[in-house]
Structures are given as structure tokens and as C-alpha cells.
Structure 1
Amino acid sequence: MSRVTVPRKDLLAAVLVLTVLWVPSISMAGDWPRICAGTALAALTGAALVFNRRAPVAATAAVAVTTLVGAAAGVCQDPMLATAWCLYLVAVERGPRVRTLVVALVGVLAGLAAVTGVSPGLGTWLVVATAALCSAWLVGTAVGRQVASVREAERMRVQLEVAREVHDVVGHTLGVIAAEAGVTRGLPDASEAELRETLADIESHARDALEEMQGLVHSLRNPRPALSGLPTIIATTRAAGVAVHARVEPHGPVDAEVGAAVVRIAQEALSNVVRHAPRARCTVELWEAQETIALRVHDSGAPGMTPASSGTGHGLRGMRERAAALGGTVVWGGTAKGGFEVEARLPMRRS
């Protein structure tokens, strides 16, 4: 059985409205019929305020009706402030769509003034009520737009994160598969045993890609791959035919999110080597430098390769965005010795 929870601010609003705007008038009603009627109206008002988030429009209408009836009976001193609070909450979620409700409420107030005549006391009450309702709608609409903007920004951030994870997780393995298939196609005299071995490798990497895709949702909801996963990425690159020399220096503990970013950046950099310079020699270095963890991936290049052909677009941009989100940097480009180099530095944020 689910437990009903009431936001504390709604409970507080109900208590304030009843004790300040209803109880004093009810206590001075003078006769039991009015006291009983006022108590019933106050109870309905309190219930609507407490549960207004379950049916906000209905709650707003209910509070407006009980307030008007209570004011007419002389058992309520509320100049539509409780209604304005409910209207504010509706406007935050629905914005301009509640304009009709505001017009209807103001129209009721105008009709009340026309029917009863505007005495000095009633005139003040109507002015305050109209101002409260209009202000609640305007402020609620503005706040609602801000809330919607924040929600949209968060949605875009999550969408970008998912796209980046898909690219990083699957792109490396698919690049290895493409490289192996290309090498095999370039060997017209390959024996049947060699072809079978290559096909077995392609099948193995394809299964790896499938497993990575199946585990993508899990990886997004749970801690990212640890820095200890770097040797696996290097081994996969070697299986694609790239000669990789790894040099990992001792370093202190690295925050899990930072470690995952380092692994993803290395994965994308090595994927670029497989795609653009599969016969190059490659060096992967990892070391600690002044409270940062540094990664460098350098390849010797391939004939005719230029920095522009060494990986552009989503991959390199994704590396830079991933590092920037953690306060780090990624730079890349050709080197004086030839080839292409990617270097990343991220704060260790020690665990």
C-alpha cells in the first residue's frame, strides 16, 4: 500500500491560511449555523491546499469557490491569497495555458462587484484579490519558463552524454573490425587458415561490440570503467595489427569519473590510429604530474597522413568535452618527429 506524502510547504500554507484568514472570522461569527458553515468551508479549503499538486486546476477552483462563499458569509478574511498560491503552482507547470483560468477568476470578481455594489471595504478587497491573482500568474509563468529551460538543458546534457558513450564504447571495436577486414582484403594470396583466423578475430570483436552495446545502459547508470581497463583497450588495438608500446608510471588513486574519462580518451585516440594509421607504431603513456593525471597517445603516422586526416569531428570534439567537464584539457596535432599526438591532462580529484 503506497504512502501518501504531502510537501511541507503545502502543509504550511494550509495551516497559515486557516489560522490567519479563517479561524478569526469563524470565532466571531456569533451563531452556530455560520460557525458550522465556516468550519466546513475552512476544512474544504485546507484539504484543497494540502492536496493541490494532485489536481492543481481543480484545487484552485475549489479554493476560489470556498473563499468567495466564505467572504460572502462573513467567515473568511482571505482576499484570494490562498487562490493566488494555488494559481502560482499551476502557472509554474502550465504557464500561459492557465490564462483562461485567470480571466475567469477576475471575471467572477468583477461580476461580484457589479452585483453587490462596490463599498469601500469591498473595493479594497477586490483590488487586492485581482492584484494577487494577476501577480501569481505572471510570477508563476516566469518561474515555469525558467524551470522548463533548466529541464531542457539537463535533457540535452544527458542526450550528449549518451551519444558520447555510444561513440566511445562501440566506435573503437568497430574500427578494429574494419581494419582487420581491410587488411584481409589486401591479402589476395592468403591461405584458408589465415582467412579463418582473421574471420575468427572479426567475430570475436563483433561479439565484444555487441556485449558493450548491451552493457551501455548499465555503464551509464553505474560507475564508469576504471582506469584499470586501459590495458584491455591497448590489447584490442594490438589485435588490430597496431604495434603499441605502453608506459604506465606509478600514480596515486584517481577519482572513478576521472579514470573513466582517461580510458575513454585513450580508446578514442587509439581508434583513430587504427582507422587512419593502422601500420604505424604507437606509444601510450600515463603518468602523474602536479596533481593531474596525464595521458599521451602518439603514433608514427602513415604515408600521406596529415593532422586533418588523423581524426576529426565527433571523436576529438567528444574527447575535449569530456575532459572539460572535469576541469581538464585535451590537445592534439602533428608533431615535429612526424605522426599524430593526443595529450590529455585531468585533475586527479583523489578519492
Structure 2
Amino acid sequence: MLLDAAAALVVIGVFWLPSIAGAPAPWLIVVGVAAAVVAGAAMQTRRRHPRLSAAAAAAATIVAGVLEVTQDPMLAAAWCLYPVALARGDRSRALVVGLVIATAAAMTIGMPVAGPDDTVQRLVIAAAALSVAWLAGVAVGRQIDAAVAVERAQARERAARLQLDVARDVHDVVGHALGVIGAEAGVIRALPDADERELRDALTDIEGHARNALEEMQVLVGSLRTDPAVAAPSAGAAATGGGLGRLPALIDATRSAGVDVASRIAVPPSVDEATGMVATRIVQEALGNVVRHAPGAACTVELGQDGDVLVVRVRDDGPGMPNLAAGGFGLTGMRERARLVGGTVEWRNRPGRGFEVEARLPSAGAR
């Protein structure tokens, strides 16, 4: 607002007041003052009413120019034209052309007084002022539009990443828990002479798995209340506390579902939290697949270091996977998680019988 007021004072003081003061008739002074007030007011309201302000400033300048009570080469109108071009871009081109034509017509009417040379000079200056204001507004407007488009694209990308991360976590948490619960229920049903204590213990295990899954889901849902713009990738996994410390519990839960699990786990001290969470989720999904697709199979979980890389392997002696290329949500989620920390995941059918998942995850220092 201060800049607009200062510009109005300069334009009115330099180009309007001297001509008004030299007007030969009182009525010309009145008209000149009124036109100057309109032009000055338009320059100060250009941000709130850009098109109306540009039209008012141009009309006041043209009328005053015909009556020779201003020497303004359309600077007031150009000042008001800038926000129009800023907001409307190329769509405001017609307004610029119209203003130039109207200015030329008005100056042609006043040519007998001003003379042809002075008229042409003023017309060139007016056209230049209007063109510069329009070009500047269009250029800045395009920059703003491009910045807004980039910001919106980044927001959509962040939302998509968050949605994908949540989908992976929901699949891992719910899928693993339901798989284990279903397998344990099947084990109970297969026990013909189970006594009350065995049934109670089995039901207690099922209750514990269900409660743990519910707690993880509650934490995950709570994490969705954070701003997606600042949520880091794999924020859902972090919120549900999926670190390497949970591996023993995951293995025990899989054993209680009737799977014979052997483990050889050596956690290197250099593994950072993000890599540990990804490794745990990969083991969780791999064990869940054994429970769902190879019930009664035996499997081995191996975790160790190979140079700067954390290697995770889960093998089973089940029937294997008929269509390796198809994969599934769980296997695809493993690969996506590994990519978050710069790692890879491969899966294959073992020679003879069985299925194997292998993940190679670089430590923080190797990334």
C-alpha cells in the first residue's frame, strides 16, 4: 500500500499538477483535479480491484490528455495494469491492445494542439509503458503459477507416498496377525483330545496377537493425524515401532501358529533404526506368507552382516510359488520398503522344494 501511495504521489506530482496549474480555464482545472483524483485512487486500489482500477486510470488519463491537463504517458494506467496481467496472464492481452488504441485515438484528437511530433513521442512512450507493465505481470504470473504447480505436485506426491506407506503397514500388521490367528485356530481345531488348559493357552495366544495388532493399528491411525507435508517416508512403520527388537516375538508368534521356525540372528551394531524397521517388516511379511501359503512347513530366518550390507533371508520347505512374476501386495511391499533405504529384495523358488526371500539393505554409512 505504501508503494502504491508513493507511486501515485510521484505520477500525479510530476505529470498532472503542472498541467492542471497551467490550465487556461477554471473548468479545466476542476476536470483536471477530478481526473487526477480518480487516477491516484485507482493506483492505490489496483490490488483489490485490478481491472476496475486499470480502466478508471486509463479513462481519467485519456480524458485529461485530450483536454491537455496532464502529460501522463499512461503511467498511472500501466501501474494498474500490472496486477491485471499478473492475475489473468495472456488473457489480459486484449485489454492492453484496447488501451493502446484508445490512447492513440485520444492523442490524435489532441494533435492540433500538441503537434504531430509530440503526439507520436507520447504515443510511443504510452505504448512502451503499457507493454512493459503487461509483460512484467505476465512473466511474474507465470513464475508464480509454475511454483504453485510444483508445490501441488509435491503435495500429491507426498500424499501418495504416505498412502502407500500406510497401505504397506496395514497389510503387514493386519495380514500377519490374522494369518497367525487363523493358523492357531486351525491348530486348536485339529487337536482331538485337547484339555482345557491347552485350549486356554491357545486362546490366550490368540488374544495376545489380536491385542498387539490392535495396538499397532491404533498407533498407525494416530500417525495419520500428522501433517502429510512433513511426514517422512515409512513414518507409519516408525510409528508402529517395527524395530529389530520385535523379531523374537514375531518368530514365537509364527511358531505358535504351527510353523517350525529356526533362527540365526546376529544384529550388527552399525544397523540404523530405519534399516532395522525395514528388515523387521520384511521378516514379518515373509513369515506371514509361510503361515498363509505353506502351513505346517518349516522355515529358517537368517539375519547377518555382509560388509556394509545387512542380509535378511527367510527360507521354507513349502510348495513354493507357482507364478514368481506375479508376486503380490506383500512381496511388492517388501521391495518398496527396501528401496526406501537403498536396498533390494529378491524372491525365488528353491531347488526341489521351498521358497526363499532375500533382502540386502545397506547400513546408514554405506548410503
TM-score by length of 2: 0.68
Residue in 1 that maps onto 2:75: 77
Any stretches of 5+ residues in structure 1 without a counterpart?
1-13, 49-57, 91-97
Rounded Cα–Cα distance in structure 2 between residues aligned with 1:67 and 1:266: 72
Residue 294 of structure 1: CA displacement? Answer: 1.6
**1:171–1:219 CA distance, 2 compared to 1 (3 A):** farther
Residue in 1 that maps onto 2:250: 233
**1:79–1:182 CA distance, 2 compared to 1 (3 A):** farther
Residue 314 of structure 1: CA displacement? Answer: 0.3
Residue 174 of structure 1: CA displacement? Answer: 1.1
Q: Which one-letter code corresponds to 1:347 in the other structure? A: P
What is the CA deviation profile of residues 125-157 of structure 1, one whole-angstrom value per residue up to 9, with x for unaligned ones?
444455455556666555554444333333222
Residue 177 of structure 1: CA displacement? Answer: 0.9
Task: Please point out which of 5, 10, 14 is paired with 1:28.
Answer: 14
Q: Which one-letter code corresponds to 1:153 in the other structure? A: E
Q: Secondary structure at the match of 2:348?
A: strand
Residue in 1 that maps onto 2:99: 109
CA contact (8 A) 1:272 1:311 kept: no
**1:64–1:134 CA distance, 2 compared to 1 (3 A):** same
Task: Please point out which of 335, 343, 351 is paired with 1:328.
Answer: 343
Q: Which one-letter code corresponds to 1:227 in the other structure? A: L
CA contact (8 A) 1:328 1:344 kept: yes
In the TM superposition, what are the counterparts of 1:41-56 in structure 2 within 5 Å? 43-44=44-45, 48=47
What is the CA deviation profile of residues 77-132 of structure 1, one whole-angstrom value per residue up to 9, with x for unaligned ones?
367477546754x5xxxxxxx68974785586378448736733333344445545
Residue 261 of structure 1: CA displacement? Answer: 1.1
Rounded Cα–Cα distance in structure 1 between residues aligned with 2:325 and 2:38: 81
**1:81–1:189 CA distance, 2 compared to 1 (3 A):** farther
In the TM superposition, what are the counterparts of 1:1-351 in structure 2 within 5 Å? 24-29=10-15, 30=17, 43-44=44-45, 48=47, 58=48, 60-61=50-51, 64=54, 68=58, 74=72, 77=75, 80=78, 83-84=81-82, 88=86, 90=87, 102=92, 105=95, 109=99, 112-113=102-103, 116=106, 119-132=123-136, 144-219=148-223, 223-224=238-239, 225=241, 226-301=243-318, 304-306=319-321, 308=323, 312-336=327-351, 338-350=353-365
Rounded Cα–Cα distance in structure 1 between residues aligned with 2:49 and 2:248: 61
Instruction: Give the greater-gyration-radius structure (CA).
Output: 2
Residue 242 of structure 1: CA displacement? Answer: 1.9
**1:76–1:310 CA distance, 2 compared to 1 (3 A):** closer
Which has the higher mean CA deviation after the structures are superposed, 232-241 or 102-111?
102-111
Question: How many residue pairs were aligned?
Answer: 316
CA RMSD of aligned residues (A): 4.1
Rounded Cα–Cα distance in structure 2 between residues aligned with 1:292 and 1:82: 63
Residue in 1 that maps onto 2:65: none
Rounded Cα–Cα distance in structure 1 between residues aligned with 2:186 and 2:139: 68
Rounded Cα–Cα distance in structure 2 between residues aligned with 1:165 and 1:324: 15
Residue 276 of structure 1: CA displacement? Answer: 1.6
CA contact (8 A) 1:330 1:343 kept: yes
